[in-house]
Amino acid sequence: MYYYGGLDMGYMLIALIATLLGALTQGYIQKVYAKWSTVDASFNGTGAEVAKNMLLNAGVTNVGFAQIDGTLTDHYDPRDNTLHLSKDNCFGGSVASVAVACHEAGHAIQHAVGYSPVAIRTALVPVVNIAQSAWSLLFFGGIILGMTGLIRIAVIAFGASVLFQLVTLPVEFDASRRAIAYLAESGQEIDKQGANEVLTAAALTYVAAALTSVIQLLYLMSRTRRR
Ligand SMILES: [Zn+2]
């Protein structure tokens, strides 16, 4: 095994693949988003207005709306029960804006109806916050000090953050499914088609991140066993 200050070749190769895959999926979402940003949705309303109607349609009335800086920075925050939408998606009426705003509305509906993967994900947050910052320190500390027990704890901590990424997948897919179902029943075919493309591209970024961390975990586990 070739060590470079605690890093070995296999680990560096996985890190490189993860970076490349991340860059590719980010590039793809940017491209698809740009394409559908130029196509008007059939709603004659902004992303925020369509999202609000989607929430009303689901009987959810207490969700706040706020504008945030940046592009594709949109998210739903359960702490203030608010959709934080980027300027384009808040005030624009393109297929891309409506798709993203409705996806975020999907998260607000999940919260309102008590969708169980969200509850699991929320419960994991404090564990993952500690695990994410501690695992690499424990892992490389364990290698340098030659302490297998420390490495094992590091791998378990990393496993917790992988589990979090895996639980994120059904949450993201479900929010998109809710958005597309709403757009399909209340909009035109073009809205559904565009939303499908935009939200699939967005989902790929989560899939790529989860996939690379599963590979990373398997690698770390195999290395721990070899030691
Ligand atoms: Zn989402």
- For 82-113, what is each residue's pLDDT tens digit? 999 999 999 999 999 999 999 999 999 999 99
Residue 223 has pLDDT above 90, yes or no: no
- Reported as a pLDDT band with limits 50, 70 and 90, residue 227 is low
Query: Which structural domain range is residue 28 located in?
Result: 3-226
Those residues whose beta carbon sits under 5 angstroms from the ion ligand 1 are 172, 175
What is the pLDDT of the chain when averaged over all its residues? 91
Please state the domain count of the chain: 1
Report CA(156)–ligand 1 centroid distance (Å): 26
For range 160-181, the mean pLDDT:
96
Query: How far is 133 from 73, CA to CA, in rounded Å?
Result: 23
Instruction: Provide the residue count of the chain.
Output: 227
Other beta carbons less than 10 A from residue 149's beta carbon: 9
Whole-model pTM over 0.85? yes
Which of 49, 104, 172, 197 is catalytic? The answer is: 104
Report CA(176)–ligand 1 centroid distance (Å): 7
What token pair was written down for 79?
């702490």
Helix or strand holding residue 217 (H, E) = helix 189-226
Single out the residue of 108, 110, 106 nearest to residue 62, CA to CA: 108
189 has catalytic annotation: no
Other beta carbons less than 10 A from residue 92's beta carbon: 21
- Strand duo 3-4 + 7-8: pairing: antiparallel
Read off the pLDDT of residues 42-67 as tens digits, 9 standing for 90 and up: 999 999 999 999 999 999 999 999 99
Read off the pLDDT of residues 136-151 as tens digits, 9 standing for 90 and up: 899 889 888 988 888 8
Report CA(218)–ligand 1 centroid distance (Å): 26
Residue 133 is predicted with a pLDDT of: 87
Residue 33 has pLDDT above 70, yes or no: yes
Q: What percent of the chain has pLDDT over 90?
A: 73
Report CA(9)–ligand 1 centroid distance (Å): 34
- Reported as a pLDDT band with limits 50, 70 and 90, residue 3 is very low
Secondary structure (DSSP) of 37-65 = HTSB-TTSS-HHHHHHHHHHHTT----EE
Report CA(139)–ligand 1 centroid distance (Å): 31
Report CA(140)–ligand 1 centroid distance (Å): 33
Residue 15 has pLDDT above 90, yes or no: no
Query: How far is 155 from 147, CA to CA, in rounded Å?
Result: 13
- Reported as a pLDDT band with limits 50, 70 and 90, residue 7 is low
